[in-house]
Amino acid sequence: MTDDPEIAARRRRLVYGRRKGPKLSEHQSSLFTTLLPKLALEIRDGAEPRSYFSAPVEDVWLEIGFGAGEHLLWQAEHHPNVGLIGAEPYEGGVAKILSRMDTSPPGTENIKIHMGDARDILFALPDASLGRVFILFPDPWPKTRHHKRRFIQTEMLGHLSRVMKPSAELRFASDDAPLVEYTLERLTAHPAFTWTATRAESWKSRPADWPPTRYEAKQLHGIPAFLEFRRV
The SS3 call for residue 31 is helix
Q: What is the Cα–Cα distance from 63 to 86, expressed in whole angstroms?
A: 5
Q: Where are the alpha helices (DSSP H) in the chain?
A: 5-12, 26-34, 36-39, 70-78, 91-103, 118-124, 154-163, 177-189, 201-204, 214-218
The H or E element spanning position 59 is strand 59-64
Within 35-136, residue ranges assigned H as helices are: 36-39, 70-78, 91-103, 118-124
Q: Is 209 a catalytic residue?
A: no
3-class secondary-structure state, position 194:
strand
Cα dist from 226 to 86, 142, 196, 200, 218, whole Å: 19, 19, 11, 11, 15
Active-site entry in 45, 127, 139, 175: 139
Active site residues: 139
